Copies of this chain bind each other. A is one copy, B any other.
Amino acid sequence: MPGNTGAIDVHVDKVELLNPATELPFYPSNTHNIPNEDLRARYRYLDLRRTALSNNIKKRSQVAHIVRSVLYDQDFIEVETPVLLRSSPEGAREFLVPTRNTTSSAAESSASVSTKREPLFYALQQSPQQPKQLLICSGGVDKYFQIAKCFRDEDGRKDRQPEFTQIDLEMAFVSWGDSISAQSADSNNLWRIGGTEIRDVIEKLVQKIWRDVEGQQIPETFNVMTYHEAMTRFGSDKPDTRFGLEIINITDIFNTNQDINTSSSDLVLECIVVRKSRDSAFIKASRVSQTDESVEHFTLTEANVRSWLLESKAASHVYPSMGQEQQSLINRTLKLKSGDDIWLAYRPRIPKGGSTSLGRARLRILDLAQSRGEYTVTKDPHFLWITEFPLFTRDDADKDFLAHGRWSSSHHPFTAPMSQDVDALYRGEIDKVRGQHYDLVLNGVEIGGGSVRVHDAAMQDYIFTNVLQLSEKEKDPFNQLLHALRCGAPPHGGIALGTYLPCIRLFCFDRIMAMLCNTQSIRDVIAFPKTASGTDLLFRSPAPVSDDTLHQYGVQSRLVD
């Protein structure tokens, strides 16, 4: 307990030195002169002596214990799923584990019987998705959770770790959303999908964590926003709602007030107004903020206040016939004044993907205003559920690597369609189908995501075959799930808690801990982390292995000098 010195006198009778500290490569108590990260990584057992670091490790244990206790008290069962799983056919960035087995009938898929003798491999689990769904499908466990180690052989990020942790849960008999579809009147209760049971569990859990760890009382119920609203108002599917600068739809203003020809009814013109008066904390940052090509930036002066829209390339692209009348309408409606800043862009009418160029411009202004010390965001955390995502996408370049022009699942192929959109699904209006997926967003960061799953085997097969157009070979890894559904699986849904890593499409508990510990580096919340290149300077891994050992696993080095 910190206190003023001088309060207590200690009279020492006898001192026993338990162990002398010699040969210290650096002094962890000297927090003003912390050595470089490589040196600290090599002597991690000394670095962990720093209070800042050991406090993070303790806080991590505290949060994990809260998670377990809250869930256990609600009759969740913690079940360990296999770390050693089957490698996925698409050969995503999994870690392989050679075995001393060779090809045998047990390991072969029914579709591909090989006669060649081949070495066989496990793959380290990337997430417990399939095991946990099969567990719940079994009916043996109604409420499952796990704080699970996951593994991903990803490179190219500055802050990657090959192993990370995920809080994972799944429940049987979750609601499917049909009966509550009419409750859309209350704009703060827009949860029109199923899975309210999951929502309740998570809200209580997050409240408890923030109360016990951060000492903050947060709302009992979190706001809900549809994907469409989030993209329209904030240009992001994980909006940071702690500050304003909301996006204004210029096309809506035109449509409400006057007829004007548009080059394409599939486009929408929008802007952000940074007002000199109201947004004084942002105005300086806005003036000097960078933009990308797709966004135009105007600082209004007496000279351009009556012509800026007419000068805009974006505006004249969407509205080629625009004139002074439109300029005046917008100036009047938005109450624009000299000194205000305008950011302007167009986007497709139906929002796609995770953000718009205006949404990104909005965040850049915030970052700059904060780093210049002109704006401080509120300390109250803003939690927000996002729902009603499009169930399928064709606009994800990463996914098209496997889809080759076919539809892909926005999240994963087990997510159920909204009950309101099941008919559209079977009619083949794929772009209209919204999913029963929910993301939990904190201050603009995705910290959880899950969905109600398909429990109807015929519907799941229809999605695999008719929507995603998977070949028999591509469907093969899902055959046991399809059969489990046919064995009378209960309706079910789940969620993974953790900060979402878009590059690997996984949720990472370590990063939530980094947020709670106010550190930028994930390595500050892991007792023995690896460097960004995946090496462990303390245990000196990875390391070479003798040829003899490799040969036991049916493999050999193919590298030459």
Interface residues of A, Cβ cutoff 8 Å to B: 18-24, 43-50, 53-54, 57-58, 60-61, 64-65, 68-69, 72, 77-87, 91, 95-104, 106-109, 114-124, 130-131, 134-135, 137-141, 149, 151, 153, 155, 162-163, 165, 173, 455-456, 480, 483-491, 526-528, 530-531, 533-546, 548-551, 553-561
Known: A45-B138, A54-B140, A527-B135. A534 touches B486 (CB 8 A): no
Known: A97-B95, A107-B535, A559-B102. A541 touches B85 (CB 8 A): yes
Considering the complex, give the chain B residue whose CB is closest to the CB of A176.
Answer: B18
How many angstroms between the C-alpha atoms of A553 and B87 in the bound complex? 15
- The contact of A98 among B53, B96, B546, by CB within 8 Å, is B96
- The contact of A536 among B86, B102, B541, by CB within 8 Å, is B86
Residues of chain B contacted by A542 (CB below 8 angstroms): 86, 97, 99, 101, 107, 120-122
Known: A21-B486, A68-B68, A484-B45. A84 touches B559 (CB 8 A): no
* CB pair B79 A488 closer than 8 Å: no
* CB pair B538 A480 closer than 8 Å: yes
Please list the 8 inter-chain residue pairs (A to B) with the smallest Cβ-Cβ separation, ordered nearest first.
A21-B488, A54-B140, A86-B541, A120-B542, A48-B138, A48-B140, A118-B544, A556-B558
* CB pair A543 B86 closer than 8 Å: yes
Give chain B nearest CB distance to A213 CB in angstroms. Answer: 14
Considering the complex, give the chain B residue whose CB is closest to the CB of A47.
Answer: B138
- The contact of A87 among B124, B155, B528, B543, by CB within 8 Å, is B543
* CB pair B559 A117 closer than 8 Å: yes
How many angstroms between the C-alpha atoms of A69 and B65 in the bound complex? 8
Considering the complex, give the chain B residue whose CB is closest to the CB of A117.
Answer: B559
* CB pair B557 A554 closer than 8 Å: yes
* CB pair B533 A101 closer than 8 Å: yes
A-B contact pairs, 29 of them (CB 8 A): A19-B455, A19-B456, A21-B486, A21-B488, A23-B483, A48-B138, A48-B141, A49-B139, A64-B78, A83-B151, A86-B540, A86-B543, A95-B122, A96-B550, A99-B534, A100-B155, A106-B533, A106-B537, A107-B543, A107-B544, A118-B557, A118-B559, A119-B545, A119-B557, A120-B543, A121-B542, A121-B545, A555-B555, A555-B558
